Structure 1
Amino acid sequence: MQSLRRRLHFHSSSSSHRILFALLTVLVSQALQAASLVAPRSNCYAFDNSSRVVDFSSWIGHPFEYDGKDSDLVLRFCKDVESRSQTGYVDFGRFDKFNYFVSGSGHVDFVQGFYNGDLANCEHSYDKMGRTAQVNIICGSCLNGQCTGGLGCICNVTYESSCRVFLELAIPCEKPGPRVFKGFTVGFHPRSWELVYDGMTQLGYEKSHHEFSFGTEQTHVTLYMTAIASLSTLVQRPIIKVLPENGLEVKVSGSGATGSPPTTLSPTMLNVDWRCERARDTPYEVNITIPVEGYEPIQFFLAKLCENRQNQNGNSARGWAIFGVLSCIFAVSSTLFCCGGFIYKTQVERKRGIDALPGMTILSACLETVSDARHSYTRQEDLNTAFASEASWERSSASSQGTSRPNETKYGAI
């Protein structure tokens, strides 16, 4: 009976430990995902004066109308501003991808700019942007007490000219998000920001995506980080975490791995070397977290495919490195030897020209040996014998001609 109780107690304790471990794993993964500051899904957002992001994506296209004497002014949030009357519509600018949405000052919390409106009778506007509008956003109610509650309204409209109008809009603003380290970028090039732009992780790298994963054959990735020079010292050493922990070997190096301050003029490099130790159907997740003092940490994910196992090639790389070092040493020593030998022969042995080059004596001796082997030396006795044989041959030929003449038969005379 006691043994049965012990077994039941053991099984219950082991199961409780497993449940606790699973809960801790879920909490840690949720904490990591919550720490990732992802860019809003639209460009309808702004930073307040404390560098906290305020997302107005849910307000896009919401209409606000102001009744005037001769015409009504309609604002569609983060879209456009129009003047509507009996004669028609006049466009006072559009909100485009260039984010003219900044923080304000005084009683104004945010300022929104609308440009490139109708150009008729406004051809001489600044940079030929046509009619323009500026919307001063107040988080709360109007100063004159209008439109309390609800979704807000336009408090006041002021026409600076027929080409520019100012609107004062009061709305219940969204809750500010975390503090963003503005100006910080991470990309695959010193002047690009595919992963992180303005302190926020871009879509595709906020979590592991199969479409944005790196192939098995790619064993090296270099990331470039930049930041505002006055705040670059706040960037700390990155933290690397691989999920799952076993199966992918990851090593980081470079100036970015040591925590060097990145700037726009001198970006820091983070070299990521990875090797597949175990094949896997789904990509490995490499979580890179860059702590920033006083701000939310920068976090993004790199996905790595491992279709097969890769062998370690560190020994071959080391061998090539040793070969390169020895080659450099040999080249430098050869150059020093040649220069020293030339100086010695010109100053001590008083040689000039090509004879002063080191090794020319040995080279000339080798050339003479080769030439002697091809053209052997002829002795004086052989020359005399050759001349004597040639003279005797000439005398014998002359005597033979003299003896043959009397025996010749002559024809033609009768």
Structure 2
Amino acid sequence: MLLGWSCSFAKLAFLIGVILVNVHLAASVVMPSSNCYALDNSSYLADYTDWIGHPFEYDGKDGDDLVIRFCKDVESRSQTGYVDFGRYATNHYFVPGPAPVNFVQGFYNGDLMSCEHSFDKMGRTAQVNILCGNCLSGACKGQLGCICSVVYDAIKCRVIIELAIPCVKRGPRVFEGFTVGFHPRSWEVVYNGMTQLGYEKPHHGFSFQTEQTYLSLYLTAMSSLSGLVGKPTLKINPDKGLKVELSGSAASGSAPTTLSPSILIVNWRCLSAHDIPYEIFISIPIDGYDPVEFTLTKLCDYKQGDENDSTRGWATFGVLSCIFIVLSMLFCCGGFIYKSRVERQRGLDALPGMSILSACLETVTGPRGYTLGDDIRRNFANQSSWDDQPASAPGTQGASERKYGSI
């Protein structure tokens, strides 16, 4: 009995472990909450947000103490005051470094005293070379990091510092250079492979309105890596009440580039009203990297008509138009038959060479043009008899001329 319970517990623990692993693998790569992060040489995320402001001190030979406040600033302190060697301002100053250095941090815009002509007029600067673990000399063992060495460069008005700190847990692998935005050159949703705040989870303030029936997203990636981007998939919560379909070049697997972004069109329609926004989870698989995932929210204040209503309306219009044309032709032909019978009863001959279609048109629209009078038609009919009559005698012609030409 105890063995059976143990096996069941082991199976349950295994299933929970598998679920947790799958959840971890499916988790989206979210932009860290601070700018104190970096991507290593293998594009894995290293988030040092918890280290912001942590001080590291170094006793100088001349009685000056160098202090690093992690991801904040670097300064040299003494009894006469302190000298600022720059401040940390952006994640572009936290980059991977060449071996054996893991990362490099840059601090800029320090004091200008005696450094007014420094490089790019930035004043004093500091470069911190970060080693994950211990110093190359073996120092920092058992400590929460320490400064290994400090080198001052008076000519360039900078200081180069070697700092050893424990390695943080390796994060997800980021597909660098990948963006998703609402315009071809924007990245409101995903920037540099990481989902932006506001789209990493459902946010009511970022919801799209009911009347907006589609959304266009533009995907870009480095041309050399664009073939790694797969077809996006989606999941809706709740799964009923909102119809969502993906289309566009990105939905068909077209490779996005910076010069030719692929388009992902999200077609959505509210089939029923809902009190809370719908959540649409979109996942874009990247071969060899963690998937890029983001969340869109959609409001459904009222039910929208089916997208096929307009198509059905045009189809109905086409059927009614065909019926009207058929009825018009039947009326036309009926009028021609009736007219022919009336003319036959009155003893009138049908006009020669008139087709059924012409008669139908005449019946519906009336005769086109004008007709010659009976006298003129008889004159045209007797034209041949005028030509066959013999020429008048000279005498008669002279008498006639004298009759009409004399006074």
TM-score normalised to structure 1 length: 0.69
Aligned counterpart for 1:252 among listed residues 246, 251, 256: 246
SS in 2 for 1:249: strand
1:313, CA displacement in angstroms?
3.9
Distance 2:154 2:82 in 1: 17
Aligned counterpart for 2:81 among listed residues 78, 88, 96: 88
CA contact 2:26–2:291 (8 Å) conserved in 1: no
CA contact 2:26–2:290 (8 Å) conserved in 1: no
Gaps of 5+ in 2: 1-11, 318-368, 370-407
Aligned counterpart for 1:99 among listed residues 79, 92, 101: 92
* Equivalent runs, 1:183-222 vs 2, <5 Å: 183-222=177-216
Distance 1:316 1:29 in 2: 47
1:274 aligns with 2:268: yes
1:296, CA displacement in angstroms?
0.4
Distance 1:279 1:205 in 2: 23
Aligned counterpart for 1:130 among listed residues 123, 133, 138: 123
Are the structure 2 counterparts of residues 319 and 255 from structure 1 closer, same or farther at C-alpha, using a change threshold of 3 Å?
Answer: farther
CA contact 1:73–1:84 (8 Å) conserved in 2: yes
Aligned counterpart for 1:119 among listed residues 101, 107, 112: 112
Structure 1 equivalent of residue 146 of structure 2: 153
How many aligned residue pairs are there? 301
1:231 aligns with 2:225: yes
User: Percent of pairs identical after alignment?
Assistant: 66
Structure 1 equivalent of residue 28 of structure 2: 36
Structure 2 equivalent of residue 379 of structure 1: none
SS in 2 for 1:282: coil
1:140 aligns with 2:129: no
- Deviation per residue, 1:47-98 (Å, 9 max, x gap): 1111100100010000001111231111000000001112211110100025
Are the structure 2 counterparts of residues 32 and 87 from structure 1 closer, same or farther at C-alpha, using a change threshold of 3 Å?
Answer: closer
CA contact 1:283–1:305 (8 Å) conserved in 2: yes
* Equivalent runs, 1:1-400 vs 2, <5 Å: 31=23, 34-70=26-62, 71-161=64-154, 163-316=157-310
What amino acid is the match of 1:174? Answer: V
What amino acid is the match of 1:307? Answer: D
Distance 1:276 1:32 in 2: 32
1:144, CA displacement in angstroms?
1.4
Distance 1:214 1:185 in 2: 20
- Deviation per residue, 1:359-407 (Å, 9 max, x gap): xxxxxxxxxx9xxxxxxxxxxxxxxxxxxxxxxxxxxxxxxxxxxxxxx
Are the structure 2 counterparts of residues 242 and 29 from structure 1 closer, same or farther at C-alpha, using a change threshold of 3 Å?
Answer: farther
1:198, CA displacement in angstroms?
0.9
Gaps of 5+ in 1: 1-19, 324-368, 370-414
1:46, CA displacement in angstroms?
0.7
Distance 1:28 1:132 in 2: 45
- Deviation per residue, 1:19-52 (Å, 9 max, x gap): x9xx99xx59982895211111111011111110
SS in 1 for 2:61: coil
Are the structure 2 counterparts of residues 186 and 318 from structure 1 closer, same or farther at C-alpha, using a change threshold of 3 Å?
Answer: farther
Are the structure 2 counterparts of residues 170 and 320 from structure 1 closer, same or farther at C-alpha, using a change threshold of 3 Å?
Answer: farther
SS in 2 for 1:289: strand
1:320, CA displacement in angstroms?
8.6
1:230, CA displacement in angstroms?
0.3
Distance 1:123 1:273 in 2: 58
Are the structure 2 counterparts of residues 273 and 320 from structure 1 closer, same or farther at C-alpha, using a change threshold of 3 Å?
Answer: farther
- Deviation per residue, 1:128-157 (Å, 9 max, x gap): 111110000011111112221221110100
CA contact 1:214–1:305 (8 Å) conserved in 2: yes
1:120, CA displacement in angstroms?
1.9
Structure 1 equivalent of residue 350 of structure 2: none
Are the structure 2 counterparts of residues 275 and 155 from structure 1 closer, same or farther at C-alpha, using a change threshold of 3 Å?
Answer: same
What amino acid is the match of 2:154? Answer: S
- Bigger drift between 171-180 and 120-129 goes to 120-129
CA contact 1:141–1:149 (8 Å) conserved in 2: no
- Bigger drift between 201-210 and 27-36 goes to 27-36
Distance 1:127 1:319 in 2: 68
Distance 2:219 2:225 in 1: 13
What amino acid is the match of 2:99? Answer: G
Distance 1:268 1:103 in 2: 30
- Bigger drift between 159-168 and 276-285 goes to 159-168
What amino acid is the match of 2:153? Answer: E
CA contact 1:44–1:99 (8 Å) conserved in 2: no
SS in 1 for 2:204: coil
Structure 2 equivalent of residue 351 of structure 1: none
Distance 1:281 1:28 in 2: 31
What amino acid is the match of 1:263? Answer: T
Are the structure 2 counterparts of residues 318 and 253 from structure 1 closer, same or farther at C-alpha, using a change threshold of 3 Å?
Answer: farther
SS in 1 for 2:299: strand
What amino acid is the match of 1:271? Answer: I
CA contact 2:25–2:290 (8 Å) conserved in 1: no
TM-score normalised to structure 2 length: 0.70
Superposed CA RMSD in Å reads 2.5
Distance 2:286 2:267 in 1: 24
